[in-house]
Copies of this chain bind each other. A is one copy, B any other.
Amino acid sequence: MSRSARLLDLIQILRRHRQPVSGDNLARELGISIRTLYRDIATLQAQGADITGEPGIGYILKPGFMLPPLMFSEDELEALVLGSRWVSKRAGGPLGKAAENALAKIASVLPKDLREQLDATNLLVGPGDPVVAGDTHLSAIRLAIRKERKLSIAYEDEAGRTSERTIWPFALGFFDRARVVITWCELRNDFRHFRADRIVRLDETDMRYPRRKAVLLKEWRELDRAKVKN
């Protein structure tokens, strides 16, 4: 196995273990000596991987993923830039920042002239409605989706009626004018969606909901295809 493939493997092994792993274990799993493992860890860290090692504990990797060397066409580059600009403007918050960071990471490894070409990608995103209040919940919602956790919310519908619900959020829709959480609603025992800006209170819980988000999304798509398509 080539060294570069092994480095990808190492990342992968670290990703699998949520708990710290000792270098000894990692080396055994990769079939290399501990000495080489230390070198590999150093190489990955130099490439930007967020690996921390603590004496007496082991190594952990902050969630993330590593791409091997990859070739993109001009169109693909422009598409990535335009998409990231849109996320940066319209999603805002930590996700928007993440879009900017992703572009900055890409730019930082390009030679100067290509970096300029990337900055000068002349595809612009028009202004949208100002980010409305309530979108402060977006990060919490994304986290709950990622971890498949129930949320307890207070919601005010179009007519001004408020209700308390426990929901299983499994997707987040970005519309031109609103962000909509798509959920299973325990109150109605059915799929329901909620505009993020009409959620007046949102509490995270530690309760994992009993189904997989991918399955919920699939079922919802089949039932509700007309309302929000991917």
Contact = CB atoms under 8 A, between A and B. Distances in A.
Contact of A99 (B74, B79, B128, B145): B79
A198 to B, nearest CB: 16
A229 B123 contact: no
Contact of A73 (B4, B64, B77): B64
Interface residues of A, number: 78
Interface in A39-67: 47-50, 62-67
Nearest to A117: B65
A127 B228 contact: yes
B83 A146 contact: no
A167 to B, nearest CB: 14
A158 interface: no
Given A65-B72, A71-B48, A109-B70, A125 B174 contact: yes
Contact of A71 (B12, B65, B85): B65
Contact of A106 (B48, B70, B99, B101): B70
Contacts of A67: 67, 69-72, 106, 109-110
A80 interface: yes
Interface in A119-133: 120, 122-128
A94 interface: yes
A38 B17 CA distance: 40
Given A80-B102, A125-B230, A126-B180, A69 B68 contact: yes
